[in-house]
Structure 1
Amino acid sequence: MDLYFSPLACSLASRIVIYEAGAEANFHRVDTKAGRTAGGADYRRINPKGLVPALRTDEGEVLTENAAILTYLGDRLGLNPEGFERYRLASWLSFIGSELHKFVFTPLLSPKFDAAAKALALEAAAERFAYLDDELAGREHLLDRFTVADAYLAVVLNWAQAVKLDLARWPNVVAYRDRVRARPAVARALGEEFALYQAA
């Protein structure tokens, strides 16, 4: 399979999942501003939205949107729970994607948002991280074991340092972040993409 990614973007979650499962993939770096892969291909011919990630399966199907790709990978690689826990997984993927990724970090990371939007995002961050901190009390992972939702949350929490968002107010979140970062697959994926990001 082929994963189209940009260093340290949300596509990093898919790399983490692939490494966690001991699977293999071809990784294709994308310059989303230029709309080109590192090999010079027109990325919009692969994903018309121009966003990462995109995944081309071994059967040649192209899948876009982070939650869909993570769900596919988790199913294929045996990381997703079954029964009602599967719906809890979907709930966490939705929360991370909409409430943290889009609502909090998109305004904080993007120069297109003004000071008022960034202030609103910081206000929202306090409420959402307080909720997350409560949910993580006494838990090692979001569910009863490491899942694709943990991979996604690890990536989003990594962005806090880029926007200088101090997570110390939420000790369960900090402890969780440190535990997940220590996993070999997460450490490997973060290290590789950080090196690519720095080299750019």
Structure 2
Amino acid sequence: MKLFYSKGSCSLVVRILINEIGIDCEYEAVNLATKITESGCDFLSVNAKGSVPALLLDNGELLTENVVIQQYLADTYQAYNLLPSADNFLRYRALEWLNFITSDLHKSFAPLFNSQIPEDLKDKIFKPLLIKKLDFINKHLEKNAYLLGEEYMLPDGYLFVILTWLARVGLDISNWPLLADYKKKVLAREPVQRSLKEENLIT
């Protein structure tokens, strides 16, 4: 199994999950600007979408889309502590959060990362939309240690990675004290530390 990734991007979520479960995996970095991998391969010949993460399975199948890869790995390796089985309604709460993070929160960063959009437009329109979503999650954490209660589960790794992007778009996480505490708590997990070190994001 091989994960195609880009340092610090949303593919970090999959690396964290791999380390949470304890799966053996190869990794190959992708330059998203040139679409060339670290081995010199044309990434578009691997994944025509040109995006990461992309997971090449041992049977030759390529799986794309972050949430789908996470669900596949959790189901395949029966990581029910991270994603409950289908007979447990909590599974659908986990998927609900995963979909909110990918479709609402993650997508809110796209215009803020776009250098073609004027900064004043980002400040007036796009940042307020993101702030509203962060306010919602911060309030949710008033009564929850993690997104789904007292235990770390699949959506928490995804939210953690998203929170690492805030400084890059000029937002201070200290404006959301509960989110700041939450980020520290997730950061303290050994699989998260290992994943960050593997991508040289911390020493």
Same fold (TM over 0.5): yes
How many positions carry a matched residue from both structures?
196
CA distance in 1: counterparts of 2:154 and 2:121, whole angstroms: 30
Structure 1, unpaired ranges of 5+? none
Letter in 1 for 2:113: L
Alignment of 1:3-14 (within 5 A): 3-14=3-14
Q: One-letter code of the match for 1:193?
A: E
* RMSD after superposition: 1.8
The 5-angstrom pairing of residues 188-199 of structure 1 reads 188-195=194-201
- 1:45 is aligned to 2:45: yes
SS of residue paired to 1:28: strand
Residue 174 of structure 1 corresponds to 180
* Pair 1:109 & 2:113 matched: yes
CA 1:76–1:146: 2 relative to 1, 3 Å: farther
Moved over 4 A (4+): none
Question: AA paired with 2:168?
Answer: A
Q: TM-score, normalised by structure 2?
A: 0.90
Letter of the aligned partner of 2:84 in structure 1?
A: P
Distance 1:192 1:23 in 2: 15
User: For residue 56 of structure 1, what is the aligned residue in structure 2?
Assistant: 56
Decide whether the 8 Å contact of 1:3 with 1:55 is kept in 2: yes
Residue 176 to residue 195, structure 1, CA distance change in 2 (3 Å): closer
1:69 corresponding residue in structure 2: 69
Q: State how far apart, in whole Å, the 1-side matches of 2:96 and 2:19 are.
A: 23
Q: Is the 8 A contact 1:30 1:43 kept in 2?
A: yes
Superimposed CA distance per residue, residues 73-122 of structure 1 (whole angstroms, 9 cap, x where no aligned partner) = 1212313113211111111111111221112x222222132225412221
Q: What's the counterpart of residue 154 of structure 1?
A: 160
- Superposed displacement of residue 191, structure 1: 2.6
SS across alignment from 1:47:
coil
Distance 1:161 1:89 in 2: 27
Query: How much identity, in percent, do the aligned residues show?
Result: 38
Normalised by the length of structure 1, the TM-score is 0.91
| Relative contact order, higher structure (CA 8 A, sep 6+) | 1
1:81 is matched with: 84
Name the counterpart of 2:28. 28
Structure 2, unpaired ranges of 5+:
none
Tell me what 1:91 maps to.
96
